Structure formats: C-alpha cells, structure tokens
Amino acid sequence: MEPSVQFTIPPGLTDLLEEFVVKCIQENPNDLVEFAAEYFNMLRLGRKKKDSKASKEASSPPSKPEKKESVEDKDEPQEPPKMPARGRRRAVAAEAYNPHENNAEVKPVVHPKTDEQLQRLKKSVENILLFKSCDRDQLKEILNAMFEKKVKPEDEIIRQGDDGDNFYVIDNGVFDVFIENGGKAVKVHTFKDSGSFGELALMYNCPRNATIIAKSEGIIWALDQATFRRIVVGAAARKRQMYEALLENVPMLAELQSYERMNLADALETKIFNEGECIIREKDGADCMYFIEEGTVRVTVSDKEISQLTKGAYFGELALVLNQPRSASIFAFGGEAKCARLNVDAFERLLGPCMDIMKRNIGEYEKQRKKLGLDS
C-alpha cells in the first residue's frame, strides 16, 4: 500500500486565486492567458512599488507581506463591504453570462404602480451608479420590474451566507449592515433614507456577504436577479466594450495599459446634449473632460468659432491638466452630441499614468492654447 501524500496549500493562495477568478468574470477577456499574464504582472509591480515606498519611509526590516485590508480597518465605509478575509472564504461560483445573447424572447416583468409610487421610485434610483449604463428604454424596464416592500424595525432584509434573490434600492428608512467576524456580528455601515445593496451576490452568483437589518419602518424597492443580470450587468458589459473601443483610438491614451483603459471606461458616463446646447463655457472652473461618442461639437473663443470636433475627439482636459479656467466654450452642433464624461475626481484618482503622460507632453497643450488664440 502506497503511503499517502499530503499537500500544503501556500498561505494566501486561496484568496489570490478567488480574486483572479472574480476579475476574469468581470472582464470576460478574449485571451485568458494574456489577461492572466498582465493581471499578475501588475500585481507584482504594485507590490514592488509598495515595498519600495516602505523602505524609503522606514529603515526597519521589511514588514510582513501585506495583509488584505479588513472591513473593520475602515473608519467610515460608504457601502456594504466586500466579503471579509477570515480563514477560507466562500468560493465565487458565477454563472456564465454573455452580454450579447439574444434577449428578444424574454418577457419583461411588470409590477403595476401608482403615479405616486412611480415618482418615489424614480427619485430613489436617479443616483444609483449601477443604472448609469442603462439607456432610457432599459431604465423604464427596470422601473416596471421593481416592486415595493414595506419593512418594520428588526426585519432582516438579507442574511450573510444566503443565496441572492433580489437587488434592493432604499426609498426611506434606516438600515444597519453587519458582517460576521470571529463569530460576532460587527456593524460596518448604516444606510439612512438612500442607497442600494445586494448587487454582488446577483452579479457573481455568490452568497450574500453581509446581513442587513431594518432599524426603523421603511420602504425598499426590489429587483429580481434575472432582470438585474439581463439588463444591468449586460448594459454594463456592453458599455465597457463600447468605451474601450472608443478609448483605444484616443492618441492621448495610447501609452495606457489595457487594464488602465478598463478602469477609465468604468468611470465614464454618457451625456447627451441637444443642438446648440453649451457643454462647457469659457472661463468657468473645470470639473470634467469629455470624449465624443457621436455627433459634432464646435469650439469657440470669445464667441468666435475656432474648430469643430467629431467622434473620437476629446476636449476639456487642458483645464484639468493646467489647473486653469476653461480656455474655450464647446457647443453641440448639427444635432445631438453624445459625449462620455469623466469627472475630475475620477480623472485624478484613476488616471495617474495618464496625468504623467499629459504633463510630459505639455508642449502640445501650449500649441493648443496658441491655436485658440491664447497666450502661453
């Protein structure tokens, strides 16, 4: 009888592979091997940067390998935390999802609502980031499919470890978020009269990663998993692919890695401007930049047209890079102009490499200023 062979799992392997699997599910790469190589290479580079920074800040021996930040380390979580790292975590078992699959035969779910309910629902979802990728028809279908649920104090809305069934949007009320840590329920966040939760379990077909309990009477709106995945997840996937294709043709971003363009694509938000509508105004403060998806815009300085820009062009970045007021006005021209908006917070937070590129090419911006009839 052969002796049994025992294997030891290296510390951190489980978490590392689970995170990679989730990233694969999110990105759905065409070339998995290339994607894996880039993913782990960026992980390695990120660790080197942290090690280098740590060695500069202190002369003490190298610290232990970085421990994954726990939810308890955050002072004020702004949303339900992701599954905490405590021993072996639950594996993600995401269903295969094809955003291009034909949903023409799917019969939309409709829950009738009064005008008053519909108005409350529209107000509740207007700032939900997950719905930003949806067009008007998709948003209408989502609103039709959502149903109202009234809750009482101590009602348990979702329980950590359970299977996901619905995505929830808060109409009103107070809701506490708890996660189990060391056998104890730790409160990590409180929602009050706004917010949403429950999307992670639906997106990745994994167990709930938190427990949410009503602390007051309130009303929430629920959206079933099938509708959520078909519309919200599908719209997000299509939006990312569309934006990535747009960004690949922007010269300013040519040196960015594909994962950096993915982050940029996720931060963009489509805005539609009517004929003649002012998009940015000369001398105003800068809070965003734009990439043109469809249509044409005209550039003016002191009410004089300087140029026109079409699909694939971008504008508004000059004021962000130079930290100066707008040097020109931009108007939609010849019909609607569809533009992807990137706000200044996302610009500074996500595009550090892009900022470096633009600063190195500051001469190009000076040429643009001269072209606009401005002094350097």
86 is in an annotated binding site: no
Q: Which residue has the tokens 């699909």?
A: 311
CA distance linking residue 17 with residue 15, whole number of Å: 6
141 is in an annotated binding site: no
Closest CA to 272 of 212, 209, 338: 338
Residue 358 structure tokens:
């633009």
Closest CA to 205 of 334, 50, 130, 95: 95
Q: How many CB atoms lie within 10 A of CB 262?
A: 19
199 is in an annotated binding site: yes
CA distance linking residue 300 with residue 298, whole number of Å: 7
Residue 318 and residue 327 in contact, taking contact as beta carbons nearer than 8 Å: yes
336 is in an annotated binding site: no
Q: In what order do the strands lie in the sheet with 184-192?
A: 156-158, 211-214, 174-181, 184-192
Residue 368 and residue 324 in contact, taking contact as beta carbons nearer than 8 Å: no
Residues contributing to the annotated binding site: 199, 208, 317, 326
Residues contributing to the annotated binding site for 3',5'-cyclic AMP: 199, 208, 317, 326
